[in-house]
Homo-oligomer: A and B are copies of this chain.
Amino acid sequence: MSTLGIAVIGTGKMGADHVRRIGRTVGGARVVAVADPDGDRVKAVAAGLDGASAHTDPAAAMAAPGVQAVLIASPGPAHEEAILHALRRELPVLCEKPLTPDPAGALRVMEAEQRLGRRLVQVGFMRRFDAEYERLKELLDAGGIGRPLFLHCRHRNASSPSFFTSDMLITDSVVHEVDAARWLLGQEITAVSVLSPTPSSAAPEGLRDPRLVLLETAGGAIVDVEIFVNCGFGYEVRCEAVGESGSAQIGEGQTMLVRSGGRGYGEIPQDFTVRFADAYDRQLRRWVAAAAQGRVAGPDAWDGYAAAAVSAAGLAAAHNGVRTPVELVERPALYR
C-alpha cells in the first residue's frame, strides 16, 4: 500500500500527540500538512517533520499537495467548519471527540455526508479500539453473560486541568461512557439523570466534582457512571457489565504486582495516554488503512450526533435536577 498523506488540523496536546504517533508507530501514513491558528507553534511542529507544510488556515492545509485524509484535533467549536470543508474535498476525516459541541452541528455534518452519499467521518472514541473493551464487546455479543442489565462505570482522573467546568464532566468526560455504552449494548440512550454528592474539597472551588450520571437505554438497561476528575490517585477507567447470567469487569488489571513496605500493590496509570496508548495506536492504524480506501473504520457521524444529544440531555439533567429524556432524529439510511 502506498503512503497516505495526512493533514493534521490543530497542533495542541492531542494534535501533537497524533503527529508523533503517525511518525512513530503507524506504517503507511505520513503527515504532509499541519494547521493551527498559532503560527509559531505550527511552524515548530512542521519543522520536526520531513517535508510537511505549515498553515494557519485549515482549508489551506487541506489543499496542500499530497493531502489524502484529514485528522482534526482542534477545539470542539472549530470542528464543524473543518469537517464540512474536508467533506467538500471528499477527504476521509478522523475527528477528535466531540464531533460537534451540540446535536445541531452534528446533524449538519450528517446532512453533508448524506448529500455525498457516503460516510467519510470517523469520531475519535478510541475506547472502541482498546483491547479490554474489545474483549468485553465480544463477550456481550456472544451472549456470554446473557442480556445486559447494568453497566457500572468508574471514570477517574488524578486532577482536572484549570479550564475544566462542571458541565465538562459530562460533555468531555462522561461522553466516553456514553459512546462506550451505546457501542457495547448496541442501544441508544433514552434518558439521563445526575446526582451530585457534596463536592470533594480536592476539587477547585465551584467545580461540582464528583458526580453520578445515570443513563437509561432503549433496551431497558441502566448505566451508572461515577465521574471524578480530581480523585487524586490516578487515571482509572473501569466497567462492569452485569447480564442475566453473569458479570464481566474490565479495568481492574495490574500488569505488575509489587510487594514492599507492608503492601502488595500495582501502579495506577496517571494519565489516559498511558492507559489507552495502545487504543490510540490501533485507532490510527485502522483508520489509516480504511482512509486509504476512502472508508471509515470506527464510530461515525451518527455516533457523534448521538453522543452530542446525550450530552445535551445530561447538561439539562444536571442543571434542572431532574431525569431528562433524550430525543434523537430518525436514523438516516446511510448510518444504519
Which residues of A are interface residues toward B (Cβ below 8 A)?
25-29, 131-132, 135-136, 139, 144-147, 149-150, 152, 154, 158, 193, 195-198, 200-202, 210, 212, 214, 216, 219-222, 224, 226, 228, 231-234, 236, 242, 244-250, 252-268, 270, 278, 285
CB distance from A288 to the nearest CB of B (A): 9
Most B CB within 10 A of own CB, among A149, A158, A201, A222: A149
Number of copies of this chain that the complex holds: 4
Q: How far is the CA of A196 from the CA of B250 in the complex (A)?
A: 24
Enumerate chain B residues within 8 angstroms of A262, measured Cβ to Cβ.
158, 233-234, 267-268, 270
Pair A256/B263 contact, Cβ less than 8 Å: no
Most B CB within 10 A of own CB, among A242, A259, A261: A259
Other-chain contact of A250, B224, B233, B236, B255 (Cβ < 8 Å): B255
CB distance from A186 to the nearest CB of B (A): 15
Pair A152/B266 contact, Cβ less than 8 Å: no
Pair B248/A257 contact, Cβ less than 8 Å: yes
Pair A245/B233 contact, Cβ less than 8 Å: yes
Pair A135/B233 contact, Cβ less than 8 Å: no
Using CB atoms, name the residue of chain B closest to A220.
Answer: B198
CB distance from A287 to the nearest CB of B (A): 14
Other-chain contact of A246, B247, B260, B266 (Cβ < 8 Å): B260
Q: How far is the CA of A222 from the CA of B197 in the complex (A)?
A: 6
Enumerate chain B residues within 8 angstroms of A270, measured Cβ to Cβ.
262
- Sample of 13 A–B contacts (CB below 8 Å): A27-B28, A135-B256, A139-B256, A145-B260, A150-B212, A193-B195, A198-B219, A228-B242, A233-B263, A253-B254, A262-B270, A263-B267, A263-B268
Pair B195/A216 contact, Cβ less than 8 Å: yes
Q: How far is the CA of A22 from the CA of B232 in the complex (A)?
A: 41
Q: How far is the CA of A248 from the CA of B146 in the complex (A)?
A: 29
Q: How far is the CA of A236 from the CA of B242 in the complex (A)?
A: 13
Residues A259 and B244 in contact in the complex (CB < 8 Å), given A197-B221, A264-B265: no
Q: How far is the CA of A25 from the CA of B268 in the complex (A)?
A: 28
Enumerate chain B residues within 8 angstroms of A278, measured Cβ to Cβ.
278
Pair A259/B268 contact, Cβ less than 8 Å: yes
Using CB atoms, name the residue of chain B closest to A221.
Answer: B197
Enumerate chain B residues within 8 angstroms of A26, measured Cβ to Cβ.
27
Enumerate chain B residues within 8 angstroms of A247, measured Cβ to Cβ.
231, 233, 258-260
Pair B285/A259 contact, Cβ less than 8 Å: no
Pair B136/A256 contact, Cβ less than 8 Å: yes
Enumerate chain B residues within 8 angstroms of A150, measured Cβ to Cβ.
197, 210, 212, 226
Q: How far is the CA of A210 from the CA of B224 in the complex (A)?
A: 14
Residues A268 and B258 in contact in the complex (CB < 8 Å), given A221-B198, A244-B232: no
Enumerate chain B residues within 8 angstroms of A228, measured Cβ to Cβ.
149, 242
